[in-house]
Amino acid sequence: MGLSRPPPQMGMARSCPPLPPSTTGGNRNVAAETGEKIKKNMGATAVGLLFFCTFVAYNAPVANTPGAPLTVKTQTDMRISRFITIVMVAWLASTLAATAAPIDARTARATAQIFATQRGKQIVTPTAPLKVKGSTSTHAPYYIYDVENGGGFVIIAGDDRVPSILGYTDSGSYDEATLPDALRDMLADYRHQIEALDSLPEAGQTSQSASAMRAQVAHPSRRFVAPLLPTAWNQKDPYNQLCPVYNNSDGSSSGAQSATGCVATALGQMMAYYRYPSATMADIPSYSFTSGGKSIRMDAVAKGTKIDWNNIRNTYSAANTEAEKTAVAQLMVIVGTGCQMAYGAASASNMQMGVQLLRDKMGYDETVRNVCRTNYTQTEWTDLLYREVAEGRPVGYRANSTLRGGHAFVIDGYDTADLFHVNWGWGGSSNGYFRISVLYQSEATSVSTANGKGFSLEQEAIIGVKPNDGIDSGIDGTPTLSARNISVKGSSISTTFTNFTGSAQTGSVGIGVIAANGSITKLASSVVLLQNNYEIERTFSVNNLVDGTYRIIPIWKQIGGSKWSACCDASHEYIEAVSAGGKVTLTRHPLNNAKLSVKEWSFVNNRVAGVEQHVKAVISNTGDDYIGDLYLFASTSASTKGKPASTGGVSLVGGKDNEVTMTFTPTPAGTYYIWLARDKNGTQVVGSTQVAITTTDTQAVNLSVGYVAYDNMVGNKVYGNYRRATIILNNKGTADYNGNVVVTLYRGQIGGRTLSPLVTKYISIKVKAGEQTRSVCRFDGLQTGYKYALRLFYEGAKSALDNNNPNAIYSREQHPGIIFYHADGTTSAQVPAAAIDGGSAMAIDMRGVTGINAIAPSTNPNALYLIDATATVPSTLTGKNVVSGTYADRITLTDGYPFMTPVAFTAGSVSYSRTLAAEAKSENNWQTLALPFAPTDISCEGERVSIDQSRLYLRRYAGQNQTLAPIFEPAAAITAAEPFVIKGAGTLKGKTLTFSAVNAQIDASQRLSAETDDYRFKGTTYRPSVAASFTLNTHSNAFDYHSEATQIAPFRAYFVPTAEPAEGESIVIEGTTSGIDATWAEGSTVAVYTLTGVKVGTARIEGQAVNLTGYPQGVYIVGGRKVVKAAR
């Protein structure tokens, strides 16, 4: 489904990296060789790969000149003045049967016209499709269309089982008599390959097969990933019980155990996720570190040292046994020793040491490796991290903060809008979802702050973490040096090589040319011996290059090794070398062509002197991605910036608006001039504004707490596992207050005197002088059997709004209660009672409560009843959805009624039924489907039904292609917590399907979504009311946009755009779009335009819908409205 990924823009020869001498020799017909390889791989099984082959010249002789580092020459006496980019697809056999759909001349011409239009060109009119000589097929295998004024030609596939654009030139015209031989051979290969598809067994064919589809997805969709780690560990007791006692600065003993260190805590939690290994796999050597000027020696850890997973717990408190505490402390000291931790009050190590420990000492896979943020664009980095957590692998992460230094933690989940779940390693405190570009743990799920406190600089990650499975991954596990500070001066390249491998390294560093296939050819090198955590700078000259364009990177080879490898930090940064006439020109990349400007400023605090102010800036970046620092200057002088008020590392995506929050604390009051700059001297200003800061008079703003009340409170007791606090604040001052108030939740033992801070939230307050305001703050996941208290503070101030002791009016005990989950998404709790009325609740949680004798079931047939594993099921719940502990015998879900579960459980059996649509038109009948379980069986009237894409169709949201059109691809199975579209055909129209599974895992209700940067396909098992969304239209063939609120039925899905589209815009599932003005007459013809206003053709109105059959997927303007035709 969908357009193929467009070929790269035509241009200079640098698009074709030179081939190293080791892979060449003599004259080669590259095109013919490649084509022959593909023909050999076709056969009856259609086994193949995706090739992107760029041909600068055809039949180009390759010489091997002695003494020259690279000797690739190209022939330039071609009749086609520039080059042609060919996208070749040899496709993998699919198990999904479907009938191939030939592309007719009309559709091919429309595709060619759109492709040309995107490049500011037009197809020659009239144009007849090329008649392919020697073709045995009943339809053309491809079409060739000339661009007007000698602007080249484009080759369009004649079969929808391959990508639409097969190739193009940007100059000349198509003349078969003067074609280069290589291009003639390539076209013949196309014909043979496409015709060969018709001879394949039907099971090997699909219309826009899944493998071809994956080649077209430029922006893959992402799905919600719940946090992987069950642990909530920190660095103190009991985790550090076996860590060494550290010394004070004067050398005296502190008498206190060292912290475990954030690297050890992060790695330990990742190992606890797998509970692997059972014992160390190799000896961990002893080492020494310095503390207070004195050396402290850590003993070696012998191979086979046991790890007591049976006693290691996910969380720890004073109630844990000594065996449980010792077990986790033992693990922590093993990991710390393996990382050669420099122990102290704040212990330190590096992530590369962790890689070596996991891979070499703990038996983890060779896929474990360290990757650096600077090697990737923002999108590439996000995709890399998402792929890890989506495949069930937690990611070790390290980043630096301008004000706090470095910190290591774990990324283990994903939410929408590029928010990753972070386990900070602070005992669960502040764990939540954060933008990875600006990590600041002040408040989970908030837009992070680039204020010097966030961990946004020098980011790196440990990926590929999994136990060794014995399968060769093809990844080279040789320790690799890092390279940074790559610079150019004349014909010389300088690089700083750093050893973060965890041990001394002897080998050669240098520079080399990297080819498109990843092979490396050395240009120059130098032998080095580099101790761990040391660096060395080397400069190399570049000369004797044959004319051409080259990509040069820093390289490394270990002593005794035979293979050069790219240095860490060097895959995104490189040097472009252009050699012409004996002169070499070097250019460092990326060019950092970010073009930043502030579009909008906002100040979200009270603008009072002495209080930290948050400054939000919406930054437009019309250039490349910007990965670097931003500096905020705040001064009472319009001409003198002074020193930066705050600094933060950010990643600003090119071509988009990005929101960044910086901070400053104004003193004294007055007008402050604000600048945002890219450098610490404030010369590269990207925006400026000013703000008035009011007096510091403490009587001007005087907030006090009127009262705090909890919804689920009776007397001095709060029931259930959450607190929803209603807070009344009075402003007794003479000035209005507009800012944040900090709400901190404390926890302590019932009857005890000590309360410890647990979690902090921020609430935005706007209250005029002499008035009061009401705010609500909620805390979930609380443990019963403790007392909790709230304390409120001005943001940035240490004193509370009043001086009440937190043990006083805000302190209440937490006790078990009966919790009701309602269809509108709210919860309520009540005091335990003998009789319960279920009302219309979606779920009723009675765990931990005793004495319940009678339950009037909920009127919702999908209601879930949670009881303790040892509790007796009340007779009134016979046949209902009862979960005992973490197991339910049977769960039956009825369509049309909401469902949710607050906990994960296993269902012995689960089923859900849905009646399919029965419209006559085959392109209609689509329905959305979102299930909380993965069905293993689908049946209709006792007959088992398979997802064969002919009688029962299933599509998933794959992502967006290069034209940003949404792409649906065939799916072989329904997975849990992911939305789909489904359609029955033939005898299944209008029939009821039953989806079922046995021993099914049903996770706690979570986000059912698949998203890209522009669209979020969201499923629901509730009945939400959603505004500004795309919902399935009445014709069941497209999602139409509506700005007003629309109620979504349970077990359905809808699209939410990230930017507001035009009213009436549609996302078409297959070939037709609806939602067009009824004033158009049935059968009439309407014009179809591109987004740039170029007319590309016409379409007919059929059934009050625009029939876009024959047009490639993309975004069009029809009747003044945007229409998105998604891929098939």
**Mean pLDDT lowest among 351-365, 407-421, 648-662, 858-872:** 648-662
* pLDDT on residue 398: 86
pLDDT score at 652: 80
Cβ contact 767:670 at 8 Å = no
Q: What is the pLDDT of residue 82?
A: 29
pLDDT at residue 977 tops 70: yes
One-letter amino acid of 766: K
What are the φ/ψ torsions at residue 788 (nearest 5 degrees)? -125, 150
Question: Model confidence over 855-889: pLDDT tens digits?
Answer: 999 999 999 999 999 999 999 999 999 999 999 99
Of 1076 and 611, the structure prediction assigns the larger pLDDT to 611
The pLDDT confidence band at residue 52, using thresholds 50, 70 and 90, is very low
DSSP state of 694: B
Residues 31 and 54: their CA atoms lie apart, in Å, by 10
At residue 6 the predicted structure's pLDDT band, cuts being 50, 70 and 90, is very low
Q: What is the pLDDT of residues 890-913, one digit of tens each?
A: 999 999 999 999 999 999 999 999
Q: Which of 227-241, 543-557, 836-850, 884-898 has the lowest mean pLDDT?
A: 543-557
Q: Which helix (H) or strand (E) holds 388?
A: helix 378-390
Q: What is the mean pLDDT of the chain?
A: 78
Per-residue pLDDT, 181: 57
Q: Which residues pair with 995 in a beta bridge?
A: 912, 938
Q: How far is CA 430 from CA 225, 394, 578, in A?
A: 18, 18, 50
Q: From the CB of residue 638, how many other CB atoms can be counted at a distance below 10 Å?
A: 10
* Higher pLDDT pick, 701 / 490: 490
Least confident range from 110-119, 123-132, 753-762: namely: 123-132
Q: Which pLDDT tens digit goes with each residue over 206-225?
A: 444 444 444 456 678 898 88
The mean per-residue pLDDT over the stretch 998-1011 comes to 87
| Rounded-to-integer distance, Cα 626 and Cα 611, Å | 30
232 has pLDDT over 50: yes
pLDDT value at residue 531? 86
3-class state of residue 651 by DSSP:
strand
Q: What is the mean pLDDT of residues 953-973?
A: 85
Asked if residue 739 lies in contact with residue 421, where contact means CB atoms within 8 angstroms, the answer is no
Please say if the pLDDT value at position 361 is more than 60: yes
Residues 457-470, mean pLDDT to the nearest whole number: 85
* Residue 111 token pair: 């595709």
**b/e code 165-183 from CB counts within 10 Å (16+ = b):** bbbbbbbbbbeeeebbebb
- Tell me how far apart the alpha carbons of residues 688 and 848 are, in angstroms, rounded to a whole number: 57
Does residue 909 come out as left (phi exceeding 0), alpha (psi in the -120 to 50 range) or beta?
A: beta
Nearest to 551 by CA among 527, 523, 525: 523
Return the active site residues: 262, 407
Residue 146 pLDDT more than 80? yes
How distant, in Å, are the alpha carbons of 271, 307, 423, 911 from that of 311?
Answer: 14, 9, 22, 38
Residues facing residue 156 across a β-bridge: 143, 165
Residue range 285-309, pLDDT digits in tens: 999 999 999 999 999 999 999 999 9
Structural domains of the chain, ranges and CATH numbers in brackets = 13-219 (no CATH), 245-349 (3.30.910.30), 369-463 (3.90.70.50), 482-589 (2.60.40), 596-693 (2.60.40.10), 703-802 (2.60.40.10), 818-883 (no CATH), 909-1125 (no CATH)
Q: Measured between alpha carbons, how far is 118 from 203 in angstroms, rounded to an integer?
A: 36
- Condensed to tens digits (0 to 9), the pLDDT of residues 501-530 reads 767 889 999 999 988 777 889 999 999 988
pLDDT at position 209 is 46
- Write down the pLDDT at residue 168: 65
What is the token pair recorded at 446? 């908030």
The gap between the terminal CA atoms of the chain, to the nearest Å, is 4
**What pLDDT score does 75 carry?**
30
Which residue type is seen at 651? Answer: S
Most confident stretch, 124-128, 174-178, 332-336, 739-743: 332-336
Say yes or no to pLDDT of 3 above 50.
Answer: no
Residue type, 213: M
471 contact partners, CB below 8 Å, separation of at least 6: none
Helices (H) and strands (E) in the chain, counts: 8, 74
pLDDT (0 to 100) of residue 1005: 77
